[in-house]
């Protein structure tokens, strides 16, 4: 009896472990049958059992389609059986996704971040007017806040205007502006936590004194 014991370390690796080893053995058995008619009959029986094991999938659109795809995947695409849906492709399933394009630019003033540069580039495209002027000063205030988060010392508006001129490649020039940015104490003011006063109930009952 001991010699016939099987350990998972000696067994083949399950392709979809959620269905268990018995389903995997059924699929392997169906794949080894020579008769196409017998393979189709076994495949339909296995699909029925798989559906019973995954009742939460019954509300998912194309429930049967997903089960048939999993059946062929678990057979390592070796099961030759008729399916009511298009069979999945092993090449498409194993295809690697395209690498993500991460920004590789290294800005001179990293404490501003890449988003500031994107905002400046978009502001340059705007038509001249009050809206563009307003968005420029919003960007300048945000730059000042980023600068203060990096360096807690105070920073003059002249420095921010010079950096804005440089980052916009000379297309935004407010260095001679008489406008004043927000004060450092306002930009670094901590946010107050919202307290629902209705949830605070005062107990006006007099305390008993003993």
Q: What is the pLDDT of residue 206?
A: 58
Distance from the Cα of residue 39 to its chain's centroid: 41
Q: What is the pLDDT of residue 107?
A: 67
> In which residue ranges of the chain is pLDDT below 50?
210
The one-character DSSP state at 56 is: G
Q: What is the pLDDT of residue 70?
A: 92
Which residues, 6+ apart, have CB-to-CB distance to 127 below 8 Å? Answer: none
Q: What is the pLDDT of residue 154?
A: 78
pLDDT in tens, 71-104: 999 999 999 999 999 888 888 888 888 888 776 6
pLDDT in tens, 37-56: 999 999 999 999 998 887 87
Q: What is the pTM of this model?
A: 0.49
Long-range contacts of 180-185 (CB under 8 A, 24+ apart): 181/137, 181/140, 181/141, 181/144, 181/157, 182/141, 182/144, 184/144, 184/148, 184/154, 184/155
- Residue 144, classified by CB atoms within 10 Å of its CB into exposed (0-12), middle (13-18) or buried (19+), is buried
Q: What is the pLDDT of residue 103?
A: 63
Report d(CA 55, CA 202) in Å as an integer.
50
Q: What is the pLDDT of residue 1?
A: 57
């Amino acid at each position: 009896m001991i010699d016939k014991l099987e350990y998972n370390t000696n067994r083949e690796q399950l392709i979809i472990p959620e269905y268990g080893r018995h389903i995997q053995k059924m699929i392997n058995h169906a794949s080894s049958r020579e008769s196409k008619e017998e393979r189709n009959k076994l495949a339909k029986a296995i699909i029925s059992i798989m559906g019973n094991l995954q009742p939460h999938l019954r509300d998912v659109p194309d429930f049967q389609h997903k089960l048939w795809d999993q059946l062929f995947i678990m057979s390592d695409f070796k099961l030759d059986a008729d399916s009511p849906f298009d069979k999945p492709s092993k090449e498409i399933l194993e295809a690697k996704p395209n690498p993500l394009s991460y920004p590789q630019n290294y800005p001179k003033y990293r404490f501003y971040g890449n988003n500031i540069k994107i905002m400046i580039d978009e502001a340059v495209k705007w038509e001249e007017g009050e809206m563009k002027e307003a968005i420029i000063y919003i960007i300048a205030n945000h730059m000042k806040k980023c600068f203060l988060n990096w360096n807690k010392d105070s920073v003059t508006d002249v420095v921010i205007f010079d950096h804005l001129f440089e980052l916009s490649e000379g297309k935004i020039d407010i260095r001679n502006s008489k406008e004043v940015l927000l004060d450092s104490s306002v930009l670094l003011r901590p946010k107050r936590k919202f307290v629902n006063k209705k949830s605070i109930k005062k107990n006006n009952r007099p305390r008993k004194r003993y």
